[in-house]
Amino acid sequence: MFLARVVGNVVSTSKSEKLTGVKLLVVEPVDFVEQQGEGKPLVAIDSVGAGVGEIVLVVQGSSSRLTETTKDTPVDATIMAIVDFIDMDGKRTFSK
C-alpha cells in the first residue's frame, strides 16, 4: 500500500467489459511527510469516490482486486481509501 495524490482522470470508451462504469484516475506516489511527488504516475481504479487533488491510499497486485468494485476485474492498482489526516512521530504531517 502506498500514499498518492490524485492528479488526473483517464477516459476510455473502448475497454474490457468488466471495466464498464469504473472510474480511472491518475495517481502520483507521494511521501508521508510533505506529500511531495516521489514516483512515476500510474492509473488506478477508484473504489471510494476520490477526486483530483485528494491524498489517497493505493494498493497494487492481487490486493487491488479485493474491493467490491474490482472483484474479478483486470486491475493492478486500486484506490481503497481517501486520507483524512496523517500523524507521524507525534506530529500531524497532513490534514484534509
Closest to 53 (Cα-Cα) out of 76, 16, 17, 28: 28
CA separation for the pair 88, 19 (Å, rounded): 36
Tell me the Ramachandran region of residue 69: left when phi exceeds 0, alpha when psi lies from -120 to 50, beta otherwise: alpha
- CB–CB of 86/93 below 8 Å? yes
Domains of the chain (ranges plus CATH)?
2-95 (2.40.50.220)
CA distance 73 to 83: 24
Q: pLDDT (tens digit, 9 = 90+) per residue, 20-52?
A: 889 999 999 999 999 999 999 999 999 999 999
What mean pLDDT comes out for the span 49-68? Answer: 93
